[in-house]
Amino acid sequence: MESHPHVRVLRGKKILLGVTGGIAAYKAVTVASRLTQAGALVDVLMTAAAQKFVTPLTFSALTGRAVVTDLWSPAGNGQIMHVALARETDLFVVAPATANTIAKLALGLADDPLSATALASRGPLLLAPAMETGMWLNPVTQQHVRELIQRGMFVVGPMQGRLASGAMGIGRMAEPPQIIEMTRKVLGRNGPLAGVHVVITAGGTQEPLDPVRFVSNRSTGKMGVALATSARDFGAEVTLIHSPLQVGVPFGVASIPVGTAAEMHAATFNLLPRTDVLIGAAAVADYRPATVADQKIKKKSGSLEIELVRNPDILGQVGAQRQQSGHPKVMVGFAAETEDLLANAKAKLESKRLDLILVNDVSAPHSGFGTETNQVTLLDKWGDVLPWPLLSKDEVADRLMIWVARRIQGKGLGDLGA
């Protein structure tokens, strides 16, 4: 398999991580490490108070870069370090952001390397506040945060939970995975799908037989969640219509939970007037039990026959009305096949009036249901066929979003090579 450990939206990005003096400073270590592993260049700036909680050495060992602790550190090219860093940054993340640092940022004070760099920087700023509940709820802190948001800065958290004092309340820093997700969302906000609403279906629908049993399939939702994450990173507004998933709904993605194919059908049609791109990654049950027993079906001697009736074909019905309504502009399906892959996928592409279908051999190892990877072949409505190698589901999603962005601009499969 081709290996892509990096996260596309983070790869090569210059991120400043400002660490201030709160107990959550130890979690900033995880943020620095994960951003670096995902391909970002992370320069850490620490206030004096932050160094009482974690040492600069910890951060420099993880990022492989010098940590700025002194306002007057030279950058080595005759420039002052914080001025040089401010010029080059794609995003400045402050985690944890104490009430004191938030106040400095709001007022434009610049008496330490972190606040001076923030003042000099023209890029976006993302704050992850962490403080005692009283400090957070104090009107002066709230006023500062409002002002910073009005000036275009971004905030993640704080969360409810256990605070340093042992008390429960709001003020706990957002967890590192959430800070990373928000970092991705902010970096991607002006991406190629900005202003585009992407609706994705995911998971295996559950068709009830009785109050405790249902008919379903092995879909975990991993493929759909990878698509939603990628669409978000490309700047899209994303809605995930999903049956129960074995993975979490990504941060910054709207979630519409459903159970049955009929519910997924209704949710999809509700959103249709606002849908620019529809991607069907859900494994929708083609059949459901004709009747749902009110009580748990009892065991009897002999066999049990269950009558199944057809479910609505969601993409098929959306495709049938596409020309009149103009929605969605782009429609993509997946074909889960075990034989005659290309012929079966082509028939689905045509009958559902899709622009593109990705066929996966769900009987092959490492592909299809529940796997981290997928091997898909793309068939578009112009007759182009393009096999992709075995890739992580994240990479399949990223490549598909490149196709979607090109399609929104009126282009075909083009040079989207293997």
Give the H or E element holding residue 117.
Answer: helix 113-120
Q: Count of residues binding ligand PMT (CB under 6 A)?
A: 27
By C-beta, is 336 or 391 nearer to ligand PMT? 336
311 lies in the binding site for ligand PMT (CB under 6 A): yes
By C-beta, is 186 or 283 nearer to ligand PMT? 283
- Pick from 328, 332, 307, 326: which is nearest to 404 by CA? 332
CB atoms under 10 Å from CB of 96, counted, come to: 30
Residue 278 C-beta: closest distance to ligand PMT, Å: 9
**Binds ligand PMT by CB under 6 A, chosen from 36, 91, 368, 407:** 368
**Binds ligand PMT by CB under 6 A, chosen from 131, 335, 356, 391:** 335
Please, what is the end-to-end C-alpha distance for the chain in angstroms? 12
Q: Please list the active-site residues.
A: 217
Question: Which one of 26-34, 66-74, 323-331, 363-371 is the stretch in contact with ligand PMT (CB under 6 A)?
Answer: 363-371
CA dist., res. 390 & res. 361, Å (int): 11
Give the H or E element holding residue 345.
Answer: helix 341-351
Following DSSP, what letter does each residue of 276-341 receive, concatenated?
SEEEE-SB--SEEESS--SSPPPP-SS-----EEEPP-HHHHHHHHHHHH---SEEEEEEEESSSH
By C-beta, is 186 or 359 nearer to ligand PMT? 359
Give the SS3 label for residue 376: strand
281 lies in the binding site for ligand PMT (CB under 6 A): yes
Two structure tokens written together for 199: 């609706």
Task: Please state whether the peptide bond connecting residue 328 to the residue before it is cis, i.e. omega within 30 degrees of 0.
Answer: yes
315 lies in the binding site for ligand PMT (CB under 6 A): yes
**Binds ligand PMT by CB under 6 A, chosen from 132, 313, 402, 413:** 313
158 lies in the binding site for ligand PMT (CB under 6 A): no
By C-beta, is 280 or 328 nearer to ligand PMT? 280
219 lies in the binding site for ligand PMT (CB under 6 A): yes
36 lies in the binding site for ligand PMT (CB under 6 A): no
221 lies in the binding site for ligand PMT (CB under 6 A): yes
- The residues in 240-279 that bind ligand PMT, with binding defined as CB under 6 A, are 261
By C-beta, is 91 or 284 nearer to ligand PMT? 284
The residue to which tokens 């951060």 are assigned = 59
By C-beta, is 15 or 245 nearer to ligand PMT? 245
314 lies in the binding site for ligand PMT (CB under 6 A): yes
The residue to which tokens 């004070």 are assigned = 109
Residue 287 C-beta: closest distance to ligand PMT, Å: 9
> Which three-class secondary structure string do you get for 143-185?
HHHHHHHHCCCEECCCEEEECCCCCEEEEECCCHHHHHHHHHH
Residues that bind ligand PMT (CB under 6 A): 201, 219-223, 261, 280-284, 286, 311, 313-315, 333-336, 348, 360, 362, 368-370
